[in-house]
Amino acid sequence: MTRRIVITGLGAITPIGNDVPSTWDGMMNGRSGIGRITRFDPAPYETQIAGEVKGFDPLKAMDRKEVRRTDRFTQLAVGAAAEAMADAKLDATKDNDRIGVAIATGVGGLETLIEQVLVMEKRGPSRLSPFLVPMLMANAASAQISMQFGLRGPNFTHVSACASSAHALGESAEMIRRGMAEVMIAGGSEAAVIPLAIGAFSTMHAMSRRNDDPQHASRPFDKDRDGFVLSEGAAVVVLEERERATARGARILAELVGYGATADAYHITSPSPEGEGNARAMRMALVDAGLEPTAIDYINAHGTSTQPNDREETAAIKQVFGEHAYKLMVSSTKSMTGHLLGAAGALEAIACILAINNGCIPPTINSTTPDPALDLDYVPNKARPAKIRTALSNSMGFGGHNASLILTEA
């Protein structure tokens, strides 16, 4: 018998809220988390805006010693994981050999790496931190969560650019289905609002340059979109085998019923023409879920606010859903949160779960000038009450990685 996978807990730290309730409130009210960068002086950069997490205190989830020994991306991950586990009322002391962790990231401890390179250049290799390697490694967040909460099941990290945490959720569900674990703490974390990343993405001309109007810079599907907005944050869910969750009386928020993962095999940064790879991921997820395209009520789009992504993703949706594409509600929460890179997929899956549970679709804000080539219902500017039984979340990443997740009501 196929094991069913449910979601019993949610955690998030984002540019619009330091927990799930405040993040959801921001989405429902169309609040932008984008502003001028404050963590360093952005004046020399072509892009001077980002989605920064505000007022985050890692000491609320970690002791002082561990904070000193971890990168910001790990601290954000631990904070989100602690919230998700508390939300699930998960007793990590029971069957902890059967509870695993999968926290994805796009770039890992990049800030620590850059800081230590400068230390070595100025003061020599003998002054490097002995914690450099465990702070920068991509699997540091998964490892820290495992150690902090005593979780001894499967422990791993996906790194597939902006599809990373969607892959973490999908592959974690598969591990539960295979019987390797009964619970997985899965999601993603990113802390890349640093000079190197801002400079690197700027040279690619991939980011918005609306420095004088940051709250309107992320505008997915709008004709005047001019690039994505880089953000930081973390999002984590508790995935659990359904019978186990029911037996312990857990509140079941949604069921993860479909997962698709493909590669474009086309270009290192551009999506394949007509979103061919994304379309195959959505079809794969529908087959995995045993659903017809008409069963989908809502799509949380990857929707980055770049010209090619929004064009090709719209084309992919039309390929897969045909006439039903025009009955779907499609929105991009990146219009409010910006792009959390490796944490984006998990956060957007959480948005789908909350839409199902609250009967309301988060909007695509900053929709002011329709693009004639993009003619789907992008839920412009205001949240929309709607009964949602089944939602699909899309993620795409540099390298041609695609992932689609399908979630249904409990």
- The residue behind tokens 């090709």 is 312
Give the active site residue among 205, 216, 267, 339.
339
Evaluated on CA atoms 240, 12, 189, 329, the torsion sign reads positive
Let me know: does 207 contact 228? Beta carbons within 8 Å: yes
Beta bridge partners of 392: 299, 406
Question: In whole angstroms, what is the distance from residue 220 CA to residue 211 CA?
Answer: 17
Beta bridge partners of 339: 230
Give the active site residue among 162, 352, 360, 401.
162
Closest C-alpha among 163, 224, 165, 228 to residue 198: 228
Question: In whole angstroms, what is the distance from residue 48 CA to residue 244 CA?
Answer: 48
Taking the C-alpha atoms of 102, 200, 46 and 114 in order, what is their torsion angle to the nearest 10 degrees?
80
Question: In whole angstroms, what is the distance from residue 236 CA to residue 233 CA?
Answer: 10
Give the active site residue among 302, 352, 360, 401.
302
Q: In what order do the strands lie in the sheet with 5-13?
A: 155-156, 99-104, 183-190, 233-241, 5-13, 254-263, 401-409, 390-397, 298-300, 329-331
158 is catalytic: no
162 is catalytic: yes
Q: Give the β-pairing of 298-300 and 254-263.
A: unpaired
Three-class secondary structure of residue 184 per DSSP? strand
How many Cβ atoms sit within 10 Å of the Cβ of residue 60? 11
339 is catalytic: yes
Q: Which of the residues are catalytic?
A: 162, 302, 339
